C-alpha cells in the first residue's frame, strides 16, 4: 500500500480516546501518526502499520 504524508488511515484497534482514524505525519522505515480524536502522536514501524491498516483516504 502506498502511504503519503497527509493521508488519513483507519487502524484495526481503537485508540483509548475512542478514535480509529490517524493522520500520517512521517513516512519511512517508521511512521509518525497523529490521532484525529485527541491529537496524540506515536511512532510505529512500517511493518506494524501495513499489517493493521483497515482503510485509507486522502486528506482534503
**43, part of any domain:** yes
pLDDT at 39: 95
DSSP state at residue 14: P
- Say how many domains are in the chain: 1
C-alpha cell belonging to residue 10: 483507519
Res. 60: pLDDT tops 60: no
Instruction: Indicate the pTM of the whole model.
Output: 0.85
pLDDT the model gives residue 2: 84
Q: Are 10 and 20 in contact (CB under 8 A)?
A: yes
- Give the residue-averaged pLDDT of 21-48: 95
Range of the domain at 31: 8-57
Cβ atoms of 27 and 4 within 8 Å: the answer is: yes
Sheet containing strand 21-26, strands side by side: 41-45, 30-35, 21-26, 8-11, 53-57
Amino acid at each position: 500500500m502506498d502511504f503519503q504524508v497527509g493521508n488519513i488511515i483507519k487502524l484495526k484497534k481503537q485508540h483509548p480516546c475512542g478514535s480509529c482514524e490517524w493522520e500520517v505525519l512521517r513516512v519511512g522505515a517508521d511512521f509518525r501518526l497523529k490521532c484525529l480524536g485527541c491529537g496524540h502522536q506515536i511512532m510505529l514501524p512500517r511493518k506494524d502499520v501495513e499489517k493493521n491498516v483497515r482503510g485509507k483516504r486522502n486528506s482534503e
